[in-house]
Amino acid sequence: GGGEARVRVERMFGLMDRFLTSDLISLQKDILDHVEYTVARSRFSFDDFEAYQALAHSVRDRLIERWHDTQIHFKRKDPKRIYFLSLEFLMGRSLSNSVINLGIRDQYGDALNELGFEFEVLAEQEGDAALGNGGLARLSACQMDSLATLDYPAWGYGLRYQYGLFRQVILDGYQHEQPDYWLNFGNPWEIERVHVTYPVKFYGTVEDENFNGGKRKVWVPGETVEAVAYDNPIPGYGTRNTITLRLWAAKPSDQMDMESYNTGDYINAVVNRQRAETISSVLYPDDRSYQGKELRLKQQYFFVSASLQDIIRRFKDSHSNFDDFPEKVALQLNDTHPSLAIAEVMRVLVDEEHLDWNKAWDFVCKIFTFTTHTVLPEGLEKVPVDLLESLLPRHLQIIYDINFDYIEELKKRIGLDYDRLSRMSIVEDGAVKSIRMANLAIVCSHTVNGVSRVHSKLLKTRVFKDFYELWPHKFHYKTNGVTQRRWIVVSNPSLSALISKWLGTEAWIRDVDLLAGLQEHAANADLHEEWKTVRKVNKMRLAEYIEAMSGIKVSVNAMFDVQIKRIHEYKRQLLNILGIIHRYDCIKNMEKSDRRKVVPRVCIIGGKAAPGYEVAKKIIKLCHAVAEKVNNDPDVGDLLKLVFIPDYNVSVAELVIPGADLSQHISTAGNEASGTGSMKLLMNGSLLLATEDGSTVEIIEEIGADNMFLFGAKMHEVPALREKGSAFKVPLQFARVVRMVRDGYFGFQDYFESLCDKVEVGNDFYLLGYDFQSYLEAQAAADKTFVDQEKWTRMSILSTAGSGRFSSDRTIEEYAEKTWGIEPCRCPF
Ligand code: 9GP
């Protein structure tokens, strides 16, 4: 009876301490207990990795407590929730970030010291969770941190890939890809929910069934796969709130091929079941285009279907009908990748919950919001109709029905302008008939966001012009931001302490606008000394890493000049390398006595090329070929070094960013949707050398054009320049450096030929030749400033001071208030 149960609960409470405490002794005891009982090593003999595992588990325990409290609180309050659907999350490591957000970093440090361990050393044991490609994926991770910190009732949903982004290995200067089997050593940061599973269906047919005197569609699927939840608690900073990133793994379903069991083909039946797991096995490693692969589409639907079952289950737990659905649920589409969610919501509401089509449609239009992260047309996904028809036949019908209604409506609005109608249709008729996922997302979302102001402008005037003219009210932008917790506090603790000291508060960690308070000290000589010391220590750390990994010794007195991001033609790593060749050429050709005037540089480049992206791979090889020559030339010595950092990832970024004096963001204007690396570097006091592209335009507004080194064609000039093609004059120096590569000065003459062709007059789509002159001028200005260390330091301080607008806290607040209509829901205690 009830009495007995109550006694039991009371007894359980009595046995539990209310919460885990975080005093020195408790932490040490917890760590050792985990060594003994979780890691199963003797507490008298365990190595650094085992110590890391035990430490991680003791942190995880504390995360779980807060996470439970938060979930109970959300359930009790039943606020409107935001569900963030993203195929990619680039979380990196979790340990340091967790203890900092939990506010127990120092306690752990002390506890470990007494046990004979160092926190930093153990933190290095952790591998990266690299379930994403680049900017989009890291942005999702930053936004999760902000959602938790700002107490929003949010869930992230994604896929738990068994293989994250490939590891980049460089052999003879060529990129090779190796699988990243990241779960090999276990993952203490996730909680497997063996009971939170949903069946996900594929293939089959759609049949008509009699229903209530009419007909209805019934999907009879041909294959079922089970989705199992893995929860990753995401702690906020300065709050008890800890939200959930729920990632799905595919497992064979019991409903699968009973047939084969009956026919006695047991071995094959088991082998077939295993195939189910491939759905969540590997992340697609290309962030440019993902056209028409069945596995990719399966991944998308798999995660969308499981997430929506979970979301609808949660809604139904506390609601007896769907009337309040749009008041309680907001669904964010992170790029087009999850846009099948639109058809899935329609299918569930209409086919399974038996809502009327119009009502379901009304809900869809109220709950979906869409953010796009690219301006490149190849980044907009298209799914061949044949593929969709075989994999998800009912969804194809629904998309056709949506399109039919929409085109009818459109005809009323714009008349029979068939060109425009066909451009705006969700269905593309062509050699391969396909579904335009971006059009689907735009038609069905109430808001279409860009990721910076100029990105939004490009969307309105170019990429989605037709739609903007129809629905101007839908188009908005939320300039990206990054979390200062990870990108200053975790990765640059000495700068973090310095900032807090000079601001007299740590409040900037939650309220980043306070960084502006550094402005008034920007000329203070004491701050300058301390700032320079911090920067130097970070550069030494980076120099050690460079030497350990490449054997190249670099001088910390040189300017550390960094370009770290995916390798893309539009991001123009090639421009950087050609600039380095020019610098090398100048040093070689100058009088020995003049070399004293050269400002020494260490040029650092890092980034991965998509495995099938030949041009990008050649750029990596060229970088190595040039480095080989330059770094071994006695005429050059410390005046110029070129280092390629292999396997660039979140952890490497945490090391490189604090050590950068200068950083390059040099995409051809009009190509970078936003850029977020620039924000991390800015926060850390790097000066930017940049084109006026993406969010840089807004950075200029914050810190002033004279606080950075700008160059290059402006966005509005680019189309005309491209048109002009061979008519504009390319500077002689440019022709000369390209010729050096062409003539085999760095070897591999044949291999680089096509790369050189790409930048020849008339062929130079990304305008390297056109921008070269002003690029060199900007570089010269950077050199000149670097000699004036006082000026440089002031500019560096002002960069950090002006970076407040580029926190993901601001971005998320804008989304919450203007797009999602959600409010904070703060867990008490
Ligand atoms: O290329 C964009 C980058 O400019 C932006 O900052 C980032 C986050 O919005 O998204 C990148 N896009 C992708 O990673 C894939 O399209």
- Mean pLDDT across 580-589: 98
- Is position 485 within any domain? no
pLDDT of 270 > 90? The answer is no
Contacts of 434 (CB under 8 A, 6+ apart): 292, 382, 383, 384, 385, 427, 428
- Is position 262 within any domain? yes
Q: How far apart are CA 656 and CA 601, in angstroms?
A: 15
Q: How far apart are CA 358 and CA 685, in angstroms?
A: 53
Confidence at residue 4, expressed as pLDDT on a 0 to 100 scale? 84
Residues in the chain: 829
pLDDT of 292 > 80? The answer is no
Q: How far apart are CA 792 and CA 166, in angstroms?
A: 38
- Residue among 377, 294, 425, 296 at smallest CA distance from 673: 377
- Is position 7 within any domain? no
- Is position 807 within any domain? no
Q: How far apart are CA 489 and CA 509, in angstroms?
A: 8
- The residue from 373, 382, 572, 621 that is catalytic is 373
Q: How far apart are CA 665 and CA 708, in angstroms?
A: 11
Confidence at residue 781, expressed as pLDDT on a 0 to 100 scale? 98
Residue of 676, 693, 695 best suited for mutating to test ligand 1, as the one with most atoms within 8 Å of CB? 676
Q: How far apart are CA 80 and CA 518, in angstroms?
A: 38
How many H-runs (helices) and E-runs (strands) does the chain carry? 33, 24
Which SS3 state, helix, strand or coil, does residue 462 take? helix
Confidence at residue 610, expressed as pLDDT on a 0 to 100 scale? 97
Residue with the two structure tokens 């994250």: 164
Q: What are phi and psi of 335, to 5 degrees?
A: 70, -175
The share of the chain scoring above pLDDT 70, in percent, equals 98
Confidence at residue 16, expressed as pLDDT on a 0 to 100 scale? 64
Task: Return the number of other C-beta atoms located less than 10 Å from residue 604's C-beta.
Answer: 23
Q: What angle do CA 678, 680, 682 make, to 5 degrees?
A: 65
- Span from the CA of 805 to the centroid of ligand 1 (angstroms): 18
Average pLDDT of the chain to the nearest whole number:
95
Q: Are residues 155 and 89 in the same domain?
A: yes
Phi-psi region of 411 (alpha: psi -120 to 50; beta: other; left: phi over 0): alpha
Q: How far apart are CA 530 and CA 527, in angstroms?
A: 5
- Cβ distance 513 to 633 under 8 Å? no
- Cβ distance 133 to 566 under 8 Å? yes
Which SS3 state, helix, strand or coil, does residue 159 take? strand
Confidence at residue 290, expressed as pLDDT on a 0 to 100 scale? 76
Give the number of the atom of ligand 1 that is nearest the alpha carbon of residue 675: 6
Strand-pair partners of 223 = 202
Q: Are residues 58 and 123 in the same domain?
A: yes
- Mean pLDDT across 130-153: 98
- Span from the CA of 54 to the centroid of ligand 1 (angstroms): 36
pLDDT, tens only, 730-752: 899 999 999 999 999 999 999 99
- Cβ distance 679 to 451 under 8 Å? no
Q: Are residues 451 and 538 in the same domain?
A: no
Confidence at residue 289, expressed as pLDDT on a 0 to 100 scale? 79
CB of 695 closer than 6 angstroms to any ligand 1 atom: no
- Mean pLDDT across 389-412: 98
More confident: 726 or 169: 169
- Residue among 687, 729, 723 at smallest CA distance from 707: 687
CB of 490 closer than 6 angstroms to any ligand 1 atom: no
Q: Are residues 64 and 47 in the same domain?
A: yes
Write out 702-763 in H/E/C secondary structure.
HHCHHHCEECCCCHHHHHHHHHHHHHCCCCHHHHHHHHHHHCCCCCCHHHHHHHHHHCCCCC
- Cβ distance 20 to 30 under 8 Å? yes
Q: Are residues 117 and 229 in the same domain?
A: no
Which SS3 state, helix, strand or coil, does residue 553 take? coil
Confidence at residue 257, expressed as pLDDT on a 0 to 100 scale? 57
CB of 451 closer than 6 angstroms to any ligand 1 atom: yes
* 242-252 and 223-235 beta bridge pairing: antiparallel
> What CATH number is associated with residue 158?
3.40.50.2000
- Span from the CA of 337 to the centroid of ligand 1 (angstroms): 13
Start-to-end C-alpha separation, the chain: 32
Rounded to whole angstroms, what are the CA distances from 393 to 220, 483, 698, 774? 10, 41, 45, 54
* 205-211 and 163-171 beta bridge pairing: unpaired
Q: Are residues 325 and 308 in the same domain?
A: yes
CB of 233 closer than 6 angstroms to any ligand 1 atom: no
- Span from the CA of 335 to the centroid of ligand 1 (angstroms): 10
Residue of 133, 336, 374 best suited for mutating to test ligand 1, as the one with most atoms within 8 Å of CB? 374
Give the number of the atom of ligand 1 that is nearest the alpha carbon of residue 137: 14
pLDDT, tens only, 63-76: 999 999 999 999 99
- Residue among 109, 84, 111 at smallest CA distance from 95: 109
Write out 199-225 in H/E/C secondary structure.
EEEECCEEEEEEECCEEEEEEECCEEE
Which SS3 state, helix, strand or coil, does residue 663 take? strand
- The residue from 680, 758, 794, 810 that is catalytic is 680
- Mean pLDDT across 251-265: 71
Q: Are residues 269 and 142 in the same domain?
A: yes
Q: How far apart are CA 695 and CA 682, in angstroms?
A: 12
pLDDT, tens only, 759-796: 998 899 999 999 999 999 999 999 999 999 999 999 99
The share of the chain scoring above pLDDT 90, in percent, equals 91
Which residue's alpha carbon is at the smallest distance from atom 10 of ligand 1?
A: 136
Whether 195 is a known active-site residue: answer no
pLDDT, tens only, 610-645: 999 999 999 999 999 999 999 999 999 999 999 999
- Cβ distance 807 to 237 under 8 Å? no
The b/e string for 528-554 (b: 16+ C-beta within 10 A; e otherwise) is bebbeebbebbbebbbebbeeebebeb
* Centroid of chain to Cα 7: 49
The full DSSP string for 46-100 is: --HHHHHHHHHHHHHHHHHHHHHHHHHHHHHH---EEEEE-S-EEEE--HHHHHH
- The residue from 571, 618, 758, 810 that is catalytic is 571
Confidence at residue 288, expressed as pLDDT on a 0 to 100 scale? 79
pLDDT, tens only, 642-657: 999 999 999 999 999 9
Q: Are residues 475 and 510 in the same domain?
A: no
Confidence at residue 309, expressed as pLDDT on a 0 to 100 scale? 98
CB of 694 closer than 6 angstroms to any ligand 1 atom: yes
Alpha helices in 182-323 (DSSP H): 258-262, 266-275, 294-317
Q: Are residues 211 and 290 in the same domain?
A: yes
Q: Are residues 52 and 178 in the same domain?
A: no
Confidence at residue 729, expressed as pLDDT on a 0 to 100 scale? 81
pLDDT of 19 > 90? The answer is no
- Residue among 74, 4, 19, 99 at smallest CA distance from 485: 99
Whether 521 is a known active-site residue: answer no
pLDDT of 158 > 90? The answer is yes
CB of 767 closer than 6 angstroms to any ligand 1 atom: no
- Is position 792 within any domain? yes
CB of 379 closer than 6 angstroms to any ligand 1 atom: yes
- Span from the CA of 230 to the centroid of ligand 1 (angstroms): 26
Task: Please name the helix (run of DSSP H) or strand (run of DSSP E) that holds residue 806, with its range, or none.
Answer: none
Q: How far apart are CA 768 and CA 574, in angstroms?
A: 8
Confidence at residue 13, expressed as pLDDT on a 0 to 100 scale? 67
- Mean pLDDT across 153-171: 98
pLDDT of 54 > 70? The answer is yes
Q: Are residues 183 and 49 in the same domain?
A: no
CB of 673 closer than 6 angstroms to any ligand 1 atom: yes
pLDDT, tens only, 190-228: 999 999 999 999 999 999 999 888 889 999 999 999 999
Sheet holding 559-564, edge to edge: 640-645, 601-606, 559-564, 662-665, 687-690, 709-710
- Span from the CA of 624 to the centroid of ligand 1 (angstroms): 26
- The residue from 138, 436, 528, 565 that is catalytic is 565
- Is position 765 within any domain? no
Kindly state the tokens that stand for 630: 């330059």
Rounded to whole angstroms, what are the CA distances from 570 to 135, 375, 481, 733? 14, 11, 21, 21
**pLDDT confidence bin for 1, thresholds 50/70/90:** low
Residue of 136, 291, 696 best suited for mutating to test ligand 1, as the one with most atoms within 8 Å of CB? 136
- Mean pLDDT across 336-344: 97
**pLDDT confidence bin for 17, thresholds 50/70/90:** low
- Mean pLDDT across 718-723: 93
Whether 373 is a known active-site residue: answer yes
Number of domains in the chain: 3
**pLDDT confidence bin for 8, thresholds 50/70/90:** confident
- Span from the CA of 608 to the centroid of ligand 1 (angstroms): 15
Query: What range does the domain containing 344 cover?
Result: 82-93+129-383+446-480+814-820
Task: Return the number of other C-beta atoms located less than 10 Å from residue 447's C-beta.
Answer: 19
User: Is the four-CA dihedral 718, 722, 728, 733 of positive or negative sign?
Assistant: positive
pLDDT of 686 > 90? The answer is yes
Confidence at residue 9, expressed as pLDDT on a 0 to 100 scale? 73
- Mean pLDDT across 666-687: 98
- Mean pLDDT across 672-697: 98
* Centroid of chain to Cα 15: 43
Q: Are residues 509 and 370 in the same domain?
A: no
Q: How far apart are CA 440 and CA 428, in angstroms?
A: 11
**pLDDT confidence bin for 271, thresholds 50/70/90:** confident
Whether 680 is a known active-site residue: answer yes
The b/e string for 28-59 (b: 16+ C-beta within 10 A; e otherwise) is bebbbebbeebbebeeeebeeebbbbbbbbbb
Confidence at residue 368, expressed as pLDDT on a 0 to 100 scale? 98
Q: How far apart are CA 74 and CA 708, in angstroms?
A: 45
Give the number of the atom of ligand 1 that is nearest the alpha carbon of residue 673: 4
- Residue among 326, 126, 351 at smallest CA distance from 822: 326
Kindly state the tokens that stand for 627: 């480095």
User: Is the four-CA dihedral 491, 493, 497, 498 of positive or negative sign?
Assistant: negative
- Is position 643 within any domain? yes
pLDDT of 441 > 60? The answer is yes
Confidence at residue 258, expressed as pLDDT on a 0 to 100 scale? 60
Helix, strand, coil content of the chain in percent (nearest 5): 55, 15, 30
- Mean pLDDT across 554-583: 98
Task: Return the number of other C-beta atoms located less than 10 Å from residue 76's C-beta.
Answer: 10
Q: How far apart are CA 476 and CA 701, in angstroms?
A: 19
Kindly state the tokens that stand for 697: 């335009």
- Give this complex's ipTM: 0.99
**pLDDT confidence bin for 451, thresholds 50/70/90:** very high
- Cβ distance 607 to 564 under 8 Å? yes
**pLDDT confidence bin for 15, thresholds 50/70/90:** low
Structure-derived torsion over alpha carbons of residues 93, 94, 100, 102, reported in degrees to the nearest 10: 170
- Cβ distance 193 to 228 under 8 Å? yes
Strand-pair partners of 210 = 215
- Is position 621 within any domain? yes
